[in-house]
């Protein structure tokens, strides 16, 4: 009965990443493998709390839709994870094609790069935009490599996930910034938009300078009144 109870257990895989004891590279890559969690919880959640930008909200919505598509594909294709490692990783009961981690980070990198060159995300010069646009790509490739190194996926599974993520990221960027952006003013002016201070700053050429100038002006006005 005890054995049956053990086999009936299933781990929450959100942060459940295994690596070989004593393997320092594996330990590092296990943390890299959690990049999607850090982006979702540390990035988008804090961004919503302190910025409340519609562009970021639709960015996050796209990532959620991408992950839903990944799970639908997995349940349809039902390609197993690497058989030589899945037992040790307790992952044999889940499917491996495509890699959801790879799909997530390459969707993020694709959308972020396109967004950087469109609105600059607060950056004024081309060199600044190039540096910012390059930032997510090393993490994307490291995450992809980590899933193979740690034994969760085959090479084909991570490359398939990356390709799907790139495609969906570009398509969703096109949908948001060619069609859905027309709804942004309506959302801003809605009751919920006004209540939560939801806004869109993507039309401002240099958001950082705009906010910096307005913050200084507001401080000077306050000092003048005092």
CA distances from 201 to 21, 32, 53, 86, 150 (A): 47, 31, 7, 46, 41
State residue 4's pLDDT score. Answer: 45
pLDDT tens per residue across span 136-152: 999 999 999 999 988 88
For 59-119, the DSSP string reads HHHHHHHHHHHHHHHHHHH-PBPPTTTHHHHT-TTSB-SS-HHHHHHHHHHHHHHHHHHHH
What is the Cα–Cα distance from 67 to 183, expressed in whole angstroms? 24
State residue 70's pLDDT score. Answer: 94
Which tokens sit at 33?
């493998």
Name, in order, each residue with C-beta under 8 angstroms of 97's C-beta and a sequence gap of 6 or more: 73, 74, 77, 79, 156, 157, 160
Q: Are 56 and 44 in contact (CB under 8 A)?
A: yes
State residue 9's pLDDT score. Answer: 55
State residue 166's pLDDT score. Answer: 96
pLDDT tens per residue across span 175-215: 999 999 899 999 999 999 999 999 988 777 777 788 888 88
5 pLDDT more than 70? no
Of the listed ranges 3-17, 164-178, 180-194, the one predicted with least confidence = 3-17
What is the Cα–Cα distance from 196 to 105, expressed in whole angstroms? 29
Report helix, strand or coil for 111.
helix
43 pLDDT more than 50? yes
- Reported pTM: 0.85
Query: 18 in the Ramachandran plot: left (φ > 0), alpha (ψ -120 to 50) or beta?
Result: beta
State residue 128's pLDDT score. Answer: 80
What is the Cα–Cα distance from 168 to 191, expressed in whole angstroms? 31
Q: What is the dihedral of CA 174, 177, 182, 184, to 10 degrees?
A: 130
pLDDT tens per residue across span 91-127: 777 888 999 989 999 999 999 999 888 765 667 678 8
Which stretches of the chain are assigned E, i.e. beta strand? none
22 pLDDT more than 80? yes
Cis omega (within 30 of 0) on the bond before 43?
no
- Supply φ then ψ for residue 199, to 5 degrees: -145, 170
Q: Which carries the bigger pLDDT value, residue 8 or residue 168?
A: 168
6 pLDDT more than 70? no
State residue 58's pLDDT score. Answer: 94
Give 199's strand partners: 53
Cα–Cα–Cα angle for 113, 152, 39, rounded to 5 degrees: 35
pLDDT tens per residue across span 44-101: 888 888 888 898 899 999 999 999 999 999 999 888 888 777 777 767 778 889 999 8
């Amino acid at each position: 009965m005890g054995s049956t109870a053990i086999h009936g257990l299933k781990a929450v895989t959100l942060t459940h990443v295994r690596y070989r004891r004593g393997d320092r590279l594996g330990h590092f890559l296990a943390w890299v493998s959690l990049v999607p969690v850090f982006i979702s919880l540390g990035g988008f959640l804090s961004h919503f709390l302190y910025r409340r930008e519609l562009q970021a909200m639709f960015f996050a919505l796209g990532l959620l839709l991408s992950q839903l598509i990944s799970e639908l594909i997995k349940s349809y294709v039902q390609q197993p994870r690497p058989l030589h490692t899945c037992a040790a990783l307790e992952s044999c009961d889940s499917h491996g094609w495509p890699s959801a981690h790879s799909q997530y980070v390459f969707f993020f990198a694709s959308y972020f790069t396109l967004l950087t060159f469109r609105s600059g995300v607060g950056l004024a010069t081309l060199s600044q935009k190039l540096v910012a646009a390059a930032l997510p790509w090393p993490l994307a490739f490291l995450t992809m490599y980590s899933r193979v190194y740690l034994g969760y996926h085959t090479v084909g599974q991570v490359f398939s996930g990356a390709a799907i993520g790139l495609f969906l990221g570009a398509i969703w960027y096109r949908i948001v910034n060619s069609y859905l952006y027309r709804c942004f003013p309506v959302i801003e002016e809605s009751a919920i938009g006004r209540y939560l201070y939801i806004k869109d700053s993507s039309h401002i050429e240099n958001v950082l300078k705009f906010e910096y100038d307005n913050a200084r002006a507001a401080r000077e006005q306050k000092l003048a009144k005092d």
